[in-house]
């Protein structure tokens, strides 16, 4: 008789920390975790962003806990994680979602700009993971989910720093799995495809003649699903990777991209 039940997908009683989750993909993942029963904790770099996030969670009927913290500052992150443990409980689920992108051609990008992207997109997930892993070892379980990207696999013009960081994040994911799998910690990644968010809205606006924006056309033609992703498309995969249902899934990157990475594209 199988021991499987839908309770395997429940996050009841779990504490989930989603970095940079005042809005966008992080907010969507956190709301899914709340619906699955988790207590939600998030951070952002400025008080005004945390306040906006708290307001958005409240509107969604979620009692979230927000902290101001720069995820590239190791001492600040250690202090935040200790504070979360006091206020809410030890972190069971970490989603390294905070990230930045600078779209600058490589020859025009300064080394300082390159370092800044790598600092937020790669060093910070190392710093935050390092802060929560001891508590997870003590509890005997833990889930770390890194928000990777299709740029963990592909290159594109103007995103040298972002692609380098996200490629590194894929390998950090595999390495956390390698080092801490024995402690019953699963570390996986989610690689979103092109997601329809307020930031990408201008790229999806119809042109004056009613035709699609050229970039919109390009993305839709490259996606077997024939559409942009919605933040809702990330919710199920994120809940799965945070739940007991994925206890033997480790070091894996789950690309939620409508099939882009599987597809060579239509012949012109």
**Which residue from 134, 55, 127, 132 is spatially nearest to 98, judged by alpha carbons?**
127
CA distance 28 to 25: 5
With H, G, I as helix, E, B as strand and everything else as coil, classify residue 14: coil
CA distance 178 to 71: 23
CA distance 15 to 245: 17
Annotated active-site residue in 162, 180, 194, 255: 162
Catalytic residue flag (residue 23): no
CA distance 143 to 36: 15
Let me know: does 34 contact 15? Beta carbons within 8 Å.
no
CA distance 241 to 61: 24
CA distance 251 to 267: 34
Residue with tokens 């910690």: 185
Q: Please, is 207 exposed, middle or buried when counting C-beta atoms within 10 Å of its C-beta (0-12, 13-18, 19+)?
A: exposed
Q: Three-state secondary structure along 44-82?
A: ECCHHHHHHHHHHHHHCCCCCEEEECCCCCHHHHHHHHH
163 token code pair: 């692609």
Q: Which residues contact 181 (CB under 8 A, 6 or more apart)?
A: 250, 251
Which residues are the active-site residues? 162
């Amino acid at each position: 008789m199988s021991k499987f039940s839908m309770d395997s997908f429940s996050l009841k009683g779990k504490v989930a920390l989603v970095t940079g989750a005042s809005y966008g993909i992080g907010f969507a993942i956190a709301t899914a975790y709340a619906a699955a029963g988790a207590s939600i904790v998030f951070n952002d770099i400025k008080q005004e962003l945390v306040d906006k996030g708290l307001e958005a969670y409240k509107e969604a009927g979620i009692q979230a806990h927000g902290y101001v913290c720069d995820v590239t500052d190791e001492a600040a992150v250690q202090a935040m994680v200790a504070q979360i443990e006091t206020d809410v409980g030890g972190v069971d689920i970490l989603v390294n979602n905070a990230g930045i992108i600078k779209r600058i051609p490589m020859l025009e990008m300064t080394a300082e700009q390159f370092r800044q992207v790598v600092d937020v997109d790669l060093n910070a997930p190392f710093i935050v993971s390092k802060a929560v892993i001891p508590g997870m070892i003590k509890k005997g379980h833990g889930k770390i989910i890194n928000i990777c990207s299709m740029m963990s696999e592909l290159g594109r013009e103007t995103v040298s720093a972002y692609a380098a960081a996200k490629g590194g994040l894929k390998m950090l994911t595999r390495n956390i799995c390698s080092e801490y799998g024995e402690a019953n910690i699963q570390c996986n990644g989610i690689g979103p495809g092109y997601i329809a968010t307020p930031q990408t809205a201008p790229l999806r606006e119809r042109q004056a003649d009613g035709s699609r924006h050229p970039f919109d056309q390009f993305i839709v033609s490259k996606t077997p699903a024939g559409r942009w992703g919605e933040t809702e498309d990330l919710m199920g995969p994120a809940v799965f990777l945070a739940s007991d249902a994925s206890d033997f899934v480790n070091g894996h990157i789950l690309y939620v991209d409508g099939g882009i990475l599987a597809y060579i594209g239509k012949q012109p």
